[in-house]
Structure 1
Amino acid sequence: MAAFSGAVKIGDLNDFIAPSQACVVSLEGGKLGAAAAEPELGTVQLQQRPRGGGFSQTRPATADQAVKVSLHDCLACSGCVTSAETVLLQHQSTGELLQRLADPQRWAVVVSLSPQSVSALAALHGLPAGECAARLAAFLRGLGARAVLDLGAARHLALAEAAAEFVARFRASPRGAATLAAAGAAAGPAAAAAAAAAGGDAMDVDGAPPAASSSGDEAGPVPMLASACPGWVCYAEKTHGEHVLPYIATGKSPQAMQGTLVKQRWCAAAGLPPDGVYHCAVMPCYDKKLEASRGDFDLHGTQVAETDCVLATTELQELLEQKGVDLRSVAPEPLDSLLAVVPGSSGSGSGWPAGASSSGGDAAAQPGAAAAAAGSAGSGPGSTAPAPPGSGGYLEHVFRAAAWQLFGQRLPPEPLQTVVGRNTDLREVSLEVAGTTVLRFAAAYGFRNIQGLMRKIKLRRCEFDYVEIMACPSGCLNGGGQPKPRAGQSAAERLEQLELLYAAADGATTGGGGAAAQAQAAVEELYGGWVGGPPGSAAARQLLHTQYHHREKTVTATLSDW
């Protein structure tokens, strides 16, 4: 026993419960064991959504038919769905998408492609990432899609909001204020401005107001925890509640921001009613379906979801196979531009850089080249490795922004080097000014590392200022909705291939040059034309931020865990 940490001995490691073990909603429409159990306090009234997303569990016609469950039935009770892939889902499926595509008079279907999904399909079909996205766009338009977008613009918005929120939180926190005051003389004018802001005027160095927090307009505490992973957020809401929720960043995920932009802005600019647009996102994770079903991501005052359907990468591949389509035989077509209907926009900014295709092709041909491309990186504790590239780049973007805006330190354009912690899914990076450590960031992937981090936060012993958290080991490129490695290919080789494909497409918009300037201009157009204010402004907080809820377990679910 001495070899195990306290976190392992006392932590809640109940990461999975079989679907029938403690579900509080039965196929008959009532609670399991309701006749024998004592009645619980509180009542729930189920109302039908206008889109057919209400309570609609159906009994199988025969005993050998699969049970189908709507995600809108989920009460986040920990009784059944902790990983969405454990249940066959009636809604948010290829069948639902095909029904909407077959009725173009009623529905305008908009499909958004995540870069992780495109990278996985590119590797599967031996294509460059940019070319794969273009061929997918042609395939989906052939089925009747009105527009095919990628998540590039929404992801840049998410990164900008994350950076603005962290800067505001750090300045407002006692630890941040003390650090800024101590480092002010060494860091120059930027640190002096930051120290003045921390003393009361919570304005950014570029004049942007601070980001909001879950408790209102007050800046939240540090460490700030990334919020893009729905598996992690659901776990925090159900297991840790108010002990952890204030630390989670309030900025929406790229998927949620894309839904907001499509339903609240794109529809209006295109002259389409939001309830007549069916927005489908292709993502690397099944838990993104649960995220899309959250009531927080419905249009305000309605039951119209901003993202109606989420397909995992494997589901899109199954659709290709169902239609008998070889993606390599599809003639590529450019993706639609989200910015094409922005007032005063140049119409650019689809998200995929023009030069990504050629560089991505090398990755498809050489699956083992990622390690060489990233530089020699060790895997043992204390070795150095580039920042994890495939989960959106929150660690690197927020760290670079904070280093400049808080301490006047411009970092070199090379990939950020991190120090490997106790395992390869725990990475750390720090910033020193005049020999003093002023920032400590980390990336923690997988529930093993999340459990340790939660214990530190509860004991108020967390040494980090910001943590990029993802529930899946190795991050989003290794999501549960991604295709499995090909025969003869190891999981590590497949991950290397995906990282190189992802980096080839992403590096052109983040590493400098014309594509990076184009991406920055696209973000500025979105903030000016649609958001109505800079990152962290009141307009941005209202449109691009959300809130979290402590979801208590029912007595039935709690007792069944024992």
Structure 2
Amino acid sequence: MLASACPGWICYAEKTHGDFILPYISTTRSPQQVMGSLVKGYFAQQQGLSPKQIYHVAVMPCFDKKLEASRPDFFMKEADTREVDCVITSGEVLKMLEQEGLSLSDVDPAPLDTMFSSVCGDDLLRHAGSASGGYLHHVYMHAAKQLFGVEVNDLTYKVLKNNDFQEVTLEKDGDVVLRFATTYGFRNIQNLVQKLKRGKSPYDFVEVMACPSGCLNGGGQVKPLPDQSNKEVLQKVQDLYGAEQAQAPEQEERVAELYHTWLRSVGEGRARELLHTQYHAVEKATNGLAIKW
């Protein structure tokens, strides 16, 4: 199975490898689009509003998230509205503040909103995982426990060709029973795809991200200052992200509450629609200028 949270990777797979690669990609929606279902569905209902009365803005580290939000699959036909109306990158937020002559350091802090959020006092909680907040960590631990009865507390990654291509394995009775990998950046993605085509990929699950170093290095992130390097800024962001408390999703009370109050109430079929999506192979357009006469 290949992870599905990165829209740049999804776009590449749909346009370049079509029906061959798409069956391997998880149908799970990205966090942005799960929140789209939640805001325009459950939240709208709780507030006594129609989905169209809510304008849902997502702040993301990635320009491709704008394309994701515009996919026809995420348009609510009956309500005549998108699940995510607008995506603004973190870099664009900074530009908007600069245009208004504002600095975040000059603004009085407000309490964190606890609705649908993992908040502990004044601190945000993150789920354990990579610099992209991907699913590999959780899927690995869950699979180890459910399939092989092994409790895993920490994951030890092995760097392969480069830091953006790492693997983690689970051994039992001397045999490797699980083999997962993180594959970031298109150079590594292309190598993975070639292995899949040759039937030589040894992995059970791969967390795929288009950007080298993952989402913390996304194209929409805040850019370095003139006296900073990309490497310095990335390291600082990684340190800040890693300093946040981590919590497993199944330990989050609000997640459990949503399963009971929202997803079970709509039924299994509708719940699947709200949490999953589908992919579409894109036919290559014939361009007369590209034909070698």
Q: Same fold by TM-score, threshold 0.5 exceeded?
A: yes
Q: Which residue of 2 aligns with 1:527?
A: 259
Per the TM alignment, residue 395 of structure 1 is displaced from its structure 2 partner at its CA by: 1.4
1: CA distance between counterparts of 2:291 and 2:232?
A: 40
Q: What amino acid does structure 2 have at the position aligned with 1:435?
A: G
Q: Deviations over 1:411-445 (max 9, x none)?
A: 12x4x220001011001000001111000000000
2:71 corresponds to 1:304: no
| 2:76 alignment partner, SS class | coil
Q: Which residue of 2 aligns with 1:226?
A: 3
Q: Which residue of 2 aligns with 1:214?
A: none
| 2:283 alignment partner, SS class | coil
Alignment partner for residue 442 of structure 1, among 181, 187, 193? 181
Q: Which residue of 1 aligns with 2:200?
A: 461
Per the TM alignment, residue 243 of structure 1 is displaced from its structure 2 partner at its CA by: 0.3
2:50 corresponds to 1:291: no
Root mean square deviation, CA, Å: 2.5
Q: Which residue of 1 aligns with 2:134?
A: 393
Per the TM alignment, residue 304 of structure 1 is displaced from its structure 2 partner at its CA by: 1.1
1: CA distance between counterparts of 2:218 and 2:57?
A: 18
CA contact (8 A) 1:445 1:475 kept: yes
2: CA distance between counterparts of 1:508 and 1:561?
A: 55
Q: Which residue of 1 aligns with 2:48?
A: 271
Q: Which residue of 1 aligns with 2:120?
A: 353
CA contact (8 A) 1:280 1:311 kept: yes
Q: What amino acid does structure 2 have at the position aligned with 1:230?
A: P
2: CA distance between counterparts of 1:498 and 1:560?
A: 46
Alignment partner for residue 544 of structure 1, among 258, 275, 286? 275
Q: Deviations over 1:32-78 (max 9, x none)?
A: xxxxxxxxxxxxxxxxxxxxxxxxxxxxxxxxxxxxxxxxxxxxxxx
Q: What amino acid does structure 2 have at the position aligned with 1:289?
A: K
2: CA distance between counterparts of 1:558 and 1:447?
A: 27
2: CA distance between counterparts of 1:528 and 1:561?
A: 60
Per the TM alignment, residue 539 of structure 1 is displaced from its structure 2 partner at its CA by: 4.6
Per the TM alignment, residue 230 of structure 1 is displaced from its structure 2 partner at its CA by: 0.4
Per the TM alignment, residue 335 of structure 1 is displaced from its structure 2 partner at its CA by: 3.1
Q: What amino acid does structure 1 have at the position aligned with 2:264?
A: G
Q: Which residue of 1 aligns with 2:290?
A: 559
CA contact (8 A) 1:478 1:495 kept: yes
| 2:180 alignment partner, SS class | strand
CA contact (8 A) 1:260 1:543 kept: yes
2: CA distance between counterparts of 1:446 and 1:544?
A: 26
Larger strand percent: 2
Distance change in 2, residues 1:231/1:424 (3 Å): same
Per the TM alignment, residue 301 of structure 1 is displaced from its structure 2 partner at its CA by: 4.0
1: CA distance between counterparts of 2:137 and 2:18?
A: 28
Map 1:416-435 → 2, pairs under 5 A = 416-435=155-174
Q: Which runs of 5+ in 2 are unaligned?
A: none
Distance change in 2, residues 1:487/1:407 (3 Å): same
Q: Which residue of 2 aligns with 1:19?
A: none
2:33 corresponds to 1:256: yes
Q: What amino acid does structure 2 have at the position aligned with 1:532?
A: R
Q: Which residue of 1 aligns with 2:247?
A: 509
Q: Which runs of 4+ in 1 moved over 6 A?
A: none
Q: What amino acid does structure 2 have at the position aligned with 1:408?
A: G
* Larger-gyration structure (1/2): 1
CA contact (8 A) 1:281 1:310 kept: yes
Q: Which residue of 1 aligns with 2:147?
A: 406
CA contact (8 A) 2:60 2:88 kept: yes
| 2:157 alignment partner, SS class | strand
2: CA distance between counterparts of 1:388 and 1:421?
A: 18
Per the TM alignment, residue 557 of structure 1 is displaced from its structure 2 partner at its CA by: 7.8
| 1:438 alignment partner, SS class | strand
| 1:315 alignment partner, SS class | helix
Q: Deviations over 1:206-236 (max 9, x none)?
A: xxxxxxxxxxxxxxxxxx0000000000010
Per the TM alignment, residue 489 of structure 1 is displaced from its structure 2 partner at its CA by: 2.6
Q: What amino acid does structure 2 have at the position aligned with 1:530?
A: W
Distance change in 2, residues 1:557/1:322 (3 Å): farther
Q: Deviations over 1:179-202 (max 9, x none)?
A: xxxxxxxxxxxxxxxxxxxxxxxx
2:3 corresponds to 1:236: no
Distance change in 2, residues 1:528/1:433 (3 Å): same
| 2:237 alignment partner, SS class | helix
Distance change in 2, residues 1:539/1:410 (3 Å): farther
Alignment partner for residue 229 of structure 2, among 475, 486, 490? 490
Q: How many residues align?
A: 291
Q: What amino acid does structure 2 have at the position aligned with 1:322?
A: Q
| 1:427 alignment partner, SS class | strand
Q: What amino acid does structure 1 have at the position aligned with 2:258?
A: L
| 2:82 alignment partner, SS class | coil
Please, what TM-score do these two structures have when normalized by structure 2? 0.92
Q: What amino acid does structure 2 have at the position aligned with 1:453?
A: L
Per the TM alignment, residue 493 of structure 1 is displaced from its structure 2 partner at its CA by: 2.1
Q: Which residue of 2 aligns with 1:325?
A: 102
CA contact (8 A) 1:356 1:508 kept: no
